[in-house]
Amino acid sequence: MGRVVQEDQLLSDDRLAELLVAVSARASALAEETFLANLQALVTLLPDLKDRLLRLQSKLLVALVEDVPQAGRRLIELKGMLPMANVSAIVVSRPALLLDEEFNAIPGAVAQLRSLFNDKDLSRMVESQPLLLVEDITAIIQQLESLMPGVDVGERLKKYPNTVLQLQRGTRRLGPGAEF
């Protein structure tokens, strides 16, 4: 027979958010009050991020909160690179884009994408799949061409930007032993 859990024993989303913030604040180099103030500034900068807080890794949250001014500058830079795109939605979907490792890859990826697609298509594609901003588009297209001979892979990628996820998963999607 299953265990009965009283409703008052369950953690609400608000309580889970408080715990995440407390754990993240402790992991941060900032004082708790400063961490909370920076978190509020980050949520003001990216209001939709508030709905994702519970799904963010503490390490990612700490990195974003520790340097909110940099996050703001990078949002402005990203808007400059993608003027037609909803940059807020892109970043809320993939907050790690604001961190060094991913942000540094964006200009090259945007240049590759811009050489293949017009600004309207480019914006729609990266809004749908922000991973395109950090992946090597030339390699993705070559891989698609080898997997789908006779298919216009540019059109395929334009129509189905999430195709990049299937390539990224590769044989792992098939389970153990599928590596051949």
Cβ-Cβ contacts under 8 Å for 163 (sequence gap 6 or more):
144, 156, 157
Give pLDDT tens digits for 13-62. Answer: 677 777 777 888 888 888 888 988 999 999 999 998 888 887 888 899 99
CA 27 to mean position of chain CA atoms? 22
Give pLDDT tens digits for 111-142. Answer: 999 999 999 999 999 999 999 999 888 888 88
Does residue 122 form part of some domain?
yes
Residues 95 and 180 in one domain: yes
Residues 103 and 165 in one domain: yes
Residues 28 and 101 in one domain: no
Does residue 96 form part of some domain?
yes
Residues 112 and 165 in one domain: yes
5-to-13, 95, 132 alpha-carbon distances in Å: 17, 35, 43
Does residue 78 form part of some domain?
no
Q: Is the pLDDT of residue 169 over 60?
A: no
Q: Is the pLDDT of residue 172 over 70?
A: no
Give the pLDDT score at 159: 92
Give the pLDDT score at 141: 86
Residues 105 and 180 in one domain: yes
Query: pTM to 2 decimals?
Result: 0.79
Does residue 72 form part of some domain?
no
154-to-7, 41, 47, 55, 56 alpha-carbon distances in Å: 52, 39, 34, 32, 32
Residues 60 and 110 in one domain: no
The total of structural domains in the chain comes to 2
Does residue 26 form part of some domain?
yes
Confidence band (pLDDT; 50, 70, 90) for 148?
Answer: confident
> Which residue range(s) make up the domain with 156?
89-173+176-180
